[in-house]
A and B are shown apart, each in its own frame.
Chain A
Amino acid sequence: MDGADIGSEADPSLLNLLEPSSLRVRVGPGGLLQAWVGELSYRPVEVQQAFPRSDPGRFLVLSHGEVELGLIEDVSCLDAESVRALEYGLRVHYLIPRVTRIQRIRQEPGRWTWDVITDRGPMQLTVQNLHDHLETIGSGRMLLTTEDGRGCEIVAAGSLDRHSRRQLAKVW
């Protein structure tokens, strides 16, 4: 049985896809998300990506505490304000800034220091080595994570400016 067979034969309600027309999401007054699914209202709700690395823009999981409200397959089908609210929800949940420029990568005995500019401001990350802490995902996408859980993401190494690419060439 291939993937298509599974899709056609399995119960579609298992996926619990949320109908875009019956879903609204807003940022509430305390900075937490609020959602309306049909007639029901939930607050606070959390949004997570099912595939944060391989398909971050789709398959968002909306939950209220421990209860999963459902799956949003494609955010673009929602109203503009809901899209903005979900983007905000993802931004504050995934604290992984995107690198816009690599200022400097410095190697010293036993550590690599990365000075980068990100979409959330400048950041300095120090890792002990690259083989444990720098992960490449596909071509040109990289995730740098420190021992204590901080991290940053290079979405497309090829689209960085020349100076950044030159710095990156030192290590990859």
Chain B
Amino acid sequence: MASLEPLPPSVASRLDDDTVLTVACDLDLAANFGERWLSITPRRVTLYSEQGQVLREIEVAAVASARLVTDRGGGHLVLSHGQDEVFARFTAPLTKNFAYAVTVIEALREGRPVPPMAERDRAPACPTCQRELPPGTNVCPVCFDRSQVVRRLLTYIRPYRLQVAAALGVLLLGTAVQLVPPYLSKLIVDRVLTPRAGSALLGLVGALLAASVLQWTLQAVRGYLGVWFGSRMMGDIRRDTYNALMALSLRYFDQRQVSQFISRVNSDAQSMQQFMTDGIVMITGQTVLIAAVLAVMLTMDWRLALLTFATIPLIAVVSLVVWPFVRRRWYRQWRAMMHLNVLVGDSLQGIRVVKAFGQEPAERGRYSAANLDLIQQNVRTDGMWQGIFPLFSLLTGFGGLLVWYFGGEQVVHQKIPLGTLIAFIAYIGMLLGPLQWFSQLINWVTNAMAAADRVFEVIDAPREIDDAATAVAMPSIRGHVRFEGVTFSYESHRSAVTEIEMEIQAGEMIGLVGHSGAGKSTLINLVCRFYDPDQGTIYLDGVDLRTVRQADLHRQVGVVLQETFLFDGTVAENIGYANRQASRQDIIRAAKIANAHGFIMRLQDGYDTRVGERGQRMSGGEKQRIAIARAVLHNPRLLILDEATASLDTETERQIQEALARLVRGRTTFAIAHRLSTLRHADRLIVLEQGKIAEIGTHEELLRSRGVYYRLVQAQRELSRIRGVEG
């Protein structure tokens, strides 16, 4: 028996020996939270309560069909037996289990062997404790060690450990030198000023000067070392974050605001670096300084030394109380900043639309509101800081006052020499510096830990579309593609394509036809493996696409989209984007095939003309032809044309059609075009309707069958006729 979760004894005792599958439900039939159990045997499907009571039961033979209906945040299982009946309800995380339950019921109903649950449908488990991992992360909350964040941060130090060790050595030396001036002051007071004997004065002042010069030198060396390895560490963190972002699947970005990652890569890395350079060096240095000063003070007068430290426990308690509060305030401030960044990015990227619709005042209003929020968060966070910092100063300074009073009394009663008190006060100054600095430390550490959390969240996010360890190398693809029962949804409650079955021969040109939202682009996204199917399999040359090495796949897939994206660079760089080894002849040849050479040569700098950010200095048709040239140079075995000739004037479209006709020759091509006439030469047309295949055939066959395609063609002819009349 397969049980997807451990069964409670009350239910386990009720199950038949031949139970094929049990699935837990987390909702009752009225959609309230409650534990229910679905059991499937070859004879019946039963729904049990948590106590093992039978709530619903139906003979498998009586089931006409089983299907899953997705709701917002979950779904329900419907069994048909003359009439439809809701058999179980569940929340979204259990959808895969129920999809498998449907497969099992259908197999039993049809007398087929029950297929095993696909490994990918099982929730990923922690390799250490085997518990199910929370979605969206590879970090197990049970095995996660809090100190792990700090340890991971410290791993960035490892490559520069020699430099860090040198900086620490310099720091220790500097600390020792720092202890010298107060002692020299004591000597000046006790041996020169009090007995009024000036013979040693020059020597002692000279020693003071030497100590200051040495201290300055050491500080400069340590500072330079800090900058040297700090900058490199920051570069390493930025690199790892960026590499992680590049490796993440499109689905990860679909669910998030993309602009926020700009700040993650830069500012979060900076916060972490600040902690690892200044923070760690300062913690070590100040700890050593405190210990050294403490030792000297205890040696000089232990009673005065204890008075100095009277307030330290209080400072520690205040810090512990304040810490979580500070952390949350920082996070709120960061969120407000992120929101503002996203807003600016959004409005500037869409600046043409903003201006075209005269929405500048509305955008200014949105910005003002977000800006006000950030101001408020800044005032709260930094204002709180302004209160905490003096509080720490006050607490630490109180110890100094005690020393002045009790130490002064002892000097008056001639129990200690004046020089000792002066030196003591100087040492207290040195001691209070680090203690007051402790509040700054909270600030740094809080900031760095929050930044580390955010950065590691990106680095730890599971790469949904990842190469398996046993990924199949396919250096040369023929281009045979087969979809077998492919279902996919961008959001859990709405399928984009359902149960797609199709086979495309190598070198065949397929036109994908259908209304907007019918699932055409989704099929293309799946072929490119931007996403993996939720159910079913896509085979490329007979190999499951999930197991194909992605580098091999993407090297042999070429894409020309309606919304052509050009990178800021020259025309030549954009054409050669997917083939960096291409020679200048190759680039010109590709441009000629793409009918782009003529207009490129009319540009002032020819192939070296900069296209501007996102290609904004080019017209739609020009960008399109550069994109085709890019695809030509890429020389793909699988070619994707997604509305590649939409929104162009007739002459440009003719040129691009001509270029595309050359490009598709001998390659497996998937083409989407709103204008159906452009697909009439396709080997076959696949007509999609609401995520399902409605018809497959050639242009002529589909016209003859007078189905969906025929109606689409008729509608388009009618539209053209009306436009013609209007024109």
> Which residue numbers of A lie inside 8 Å of B, CB to CB?
28-32, 43-44, 52, 66, 91-97, 107-111, 118, 120-123, 126, 128-132, 146-151, 170-172
Residues of A near B493 (CB, < 8 A) are: 149
| A29 surroundings in chain B (CB, below 8 A) | 83, 85
- Cβ contact within 8 Å between B84 and A150: no
Residues on A with C-beta less than 8 A from B27 are 95, 120
- Docked-complex contact B328 and A129, CB < 8 angstroms: no
Instruction: Determine if B141 and A126 form an interchain contact, defined as CB atoms under 8 angstroms apart.
Output: yes
Contact between chains at A96 and B457 (CB < 8 Å): no
Given contacts A93-B72, A95-B71, A110-B453, contact A131 B92 (CB under 8 A): no
Contact across chains for B690 and A149 when beta carbons are under 8 A apart: no
- Look across to chain B and name the residue whose beta carbon is closest to the beta carbon of A28: B83
Cα distance A93–B92 in the bound complex, in angstroms: 12
Output the least CB separation between B43 and chain A (Å): 21
Question: Is there contact, CB below 8 Å, between B144 and A109?
Answer: yes
Report whether B86 and A110 are in contact in the complex, using a CB–CB cutoff of 8 Å.
no
Asked whether A110 and B76 contact (CB < 8 A) given A30-B86, A94-B71, the answer is no
CB pair A30 B85 closer than 8 Å: yes
Can you list, as one digit per residue, whether each of B315-350 has a CB less than 8 Å from chain A (1) or not (0)?
A: 000000000100110011011001000000000000
Q: Do A109 and B453 contact each other (CB < 8 Å), given the known contacts A44-B84, A95-B71, A146-B135? A: yes
Q: Which of A43, A150, A170 contacts B91 (CB 8 A)?
A: A150
Kindly state whether residue B470 has any CB partner on chain A within 8 Å.
Answer: no
Number of interface residues of B (CB under 8 A): 54
Asked if B29 is an interface residue, CB under 8 A from chain A, the answer is yes
Are B31 and A95 touching (Cβ within 8 A)? Answer: yes
| Interface hub of B255, B453, B460 (most chain A Cβ within 10 A) | B453
CB-CB under 8 A from A122, the residues of chain B are: 33
- List residues of chain A with CB within 8 A of the CB of B256: 132
CB contacts (< 8 Å) of A126 on chain B: these are 134, 141
Q: Which of A30, A110, A148 contacts B139 (CB 8 A)?
A: A110
When A95-B91, A149-B492, A150-B93 are in contact, do A108 and B73 touch as well, CB less than 8 Å?
no
Give the most central of B71, B256, B492: most A CB within 10 Å.
B71
Complex A-B, nearest 10 residue pairs according to Cβ-Cβ distance, in ascending order: A149-B92, A121-B33, A147-B136, A30-B85, A31-B86, A95-B73, A147-B135, A148-B135, A95-B74, A149-B492
B32 engages A121 (CB within 8 Å)? yes
Proximity string of chain B (7-33) to chain A, C-beta cutoff 8 Å, 1 when within and 0 when not? 000000000000000000001011111
Q: Is the CB of B335 within 8 A of A110?
A: no
Is there contact, CB below 8 Å, between A30 and B83? yes
Across the interface, do B83 and A96 meet the contact criterion of CB distance under 8 Å?
no
With an 8 A cutoff between CB atoms, is B531 at the interface? Answer: no
**Do A66 and B690 touch (CB < 8 A)?**
yes
Is B137 part of the binding interface, using a Cβ–Cβ cutoff of 8 Å? yes
Residue ranges of B at the interface with A (Cβ–Cβ < 8 Å):
27, 29-34, 71-74, 76, 78, 83-86, 89, 91-93, 95, 134-137, 139, 141, 144, 146, 148-149, 255-257, 260, 324, 327-328, 331-332, 334-335, 338, 449, 453-454, 456-457, 460, 491-493, 690
Taking CB atoms, residues of chain A closer than 8 Å to B454 are: 129
Q: Name the one of B92, B134, B148, B332 contacting A111, with C-beta atoms under 8 angstroms.
A: B134
CB-defined contacts of B457 to chain A, threshold 8 Å: 110, 128-129
Please name all residues of chain B whose beta carbon is closer than 8 Å to the beta carbon of A92 when the two chains form the complex: 30-31, 71, 76, 86, 89
Is the pair A131, B260 in contact by a Cβ cutoff of 8 Å?
yes
Determine if A132 and B86 form an interchain contact, defined as CB atoms under 8 angstroms apart: no
Tell me, rounded to whole Å, the shortest Cβ–Cβ distance linking B223 to chain A. 31
Q: Tell me the minimal C-beta distance from A44 to chain B in angstroms.
A: 6
Complex CA distance for A130 and B334, rounded to whole angstroms: 11
Rounded to whole angstroms, the CA-CA distance of A93 and B493 in the bound complex is 10
Q: Known pairs A149-B73, A150-B92. 11 more at Cβ < 8 A?
A: A30-B84, A91-B31, A96-B73, A108-B141, A110-B137, A110-B144, A111-B134, A118-B33, A126-B141, A129-B457, A149-B492
Contacts of B135 in A (CB 8 A): 146-148
B492, chain A: closest CB distance, angstroms: 4
CA of A123 to CA of B29, assembled, Å: 17
- Which of B30, B73, B324, B338 counts the most chain A CB atoms within 10 A? B73
Task: For A109, list chain B residues within 8 Å (CB).
Answer: 144, 146, 148-149, 449, 453
Q: Are B93 and A149 in contact (CB under 8 A)?
A: yes
Residues of B within 8 A of A148 (CB): 92-93, 135-136, 492
A167 CB, nearest partner CB in chain B, Å: 12
Q: Smallest CB–CB gap between B126 and chain A, Å? A: 14
Q: How close is A75's CB to chain B, nearest CB, in angstroms? A: 18
With A95-B91, A123-B33, A148-B92 in contact, is A32–B139 under 8 Å at CB?
no
Given contacts A110-B139, A120-B32, A149-B93, contact A96 B86 (CB under 8 A): no
CA distance A4 to B257 in the complex (A): 34
Docked pose: A112 CA to B447 CA in angstroms: 17
Roughly how many angstroms separate A123 CA and B73 CA in the complex, as a whole number? 14
The one of B72, B95, B148, B449 in contact with A96, judged by C-beta atoms closer than 8 angstroms, is B72
Chain B residues whose C-beta falls within 8 Å of the C-beta of A151 in the assembled complex: 73
Q: How far is the CB of B576 from chain A (nearest CB, A)?
A: 36
Chain B residues contacting A28 (CB-CB under 8 Å) are 83
Tell me the smallest distance from the CB of A47 to a CB of chain B, in Å. Answer: 11
Interface centre among A66, A129, A170 (most CB of B within 10 A): A129
Closest Cβ of chain A to B221, distance in Å, is 35
A111 to B137, CA, bound (A): 10
Q: Could you tell me the distance between the alpha carbons of A170 and B328 in the complex, rounded to whole angstroms?
A: 7
Q: Chain B: which residue is nearest A112 at the CB level?
A: B331
- Which residues from chain B contact A171 at a C-beta distance below 8 Å? 328, 332
Q: Identify the closest chain B residue to A92 (Cβ).
A: B31
Other-chain contact of A94, B34, B73, B93, B324 (Cβ < 8 Å): B73
User: Could you give 26 example pairs across A and B, Cβ below 8 Å?
Assistant: A31-B85, A32-B84, A91-B30, A92-B31, A92-B71, A94-B73, A95-B27, A95-B71, A95-B73, A95-B91, A96-B73, A108-B141, A108-B146, A109-B144, A109-B449, A110-B453, A111-B134, A128-B137, A129-B457, A131-B260, A131-B334, A132-B255, A147-B136, A147-B255, A149-B73, A149-B95
Complex Cα spacing A109 to B152, Å:
13
Chain A residues near B324 (CB, 8 Å)? 107
Docked pose: A28 CA to B327 CA in angstroms = 53
